């Protein structure tokens, strides 16, 4: 786990979990991210883009990130049948999905008891 903090700027720390899938980095936000408004995933993505984009930059850019960094911000699912919902972020903005991040999220979801692991 890592903690990203800018105390000089008066910003609270954001706790993350660092994962790698096929040598691709994924940073999953665990705590410290402000409340995200919106009823749907698209409304939530629009909200963070408009109001919290500075935090995306803190999480993705040097010295804490890199040009290859990809991030995941868990949010409350808007579908009752969903086990989890996330916003995907990278150095360029907000994406609709990321294959290697989805693989990392699967491992994270099992490791953290969000979903049960099932043997093939």
Residue 98 annotated in active site: yes
The residues that bridge with 72 in the sheet, in sequence order, are: 28, 88
Angle (CA) 54-40-93 rounded to 5° is 30
Q: Which residue spans within 1-120 are E strands per DSSP?
A: 2-6, 11-21, 24-31, 70-75, 85-90, 93-95
Q: Which residue among the candidates 22, 23, 35, 98 is catalytic per the annotation?
A: 98
Q: Report how far Cα 30 is from the mean position of its chain's Cα atoms.
A: 8
Known catalytic residues are 98
């Amino acid at each position: 786990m890592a903690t990203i903090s800018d105390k000089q700027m008066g910003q609270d720390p954001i706790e993350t979990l660092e994962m790698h899938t096929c040598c691709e980095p994924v940073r999953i936000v665990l705590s410290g991210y402000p409340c995200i408004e919106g009823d749907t995933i698209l409304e939530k993505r629009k909200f963070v883009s408009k109001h919290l984009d500075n935090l995306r930059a803190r999480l993705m850019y040097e010295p804490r990130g890199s040009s290859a960094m990809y991030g995941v911000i868990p949010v409350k699912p808007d579908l009752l049948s969903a086990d989890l919902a996330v916003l995907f972020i990278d150095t360029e903005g907000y994406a609709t999905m990321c294959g290697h991040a989805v693989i990392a999220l699967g491992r994270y979801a099992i490791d953290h008891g969000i979903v049960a692991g099932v043997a093939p």
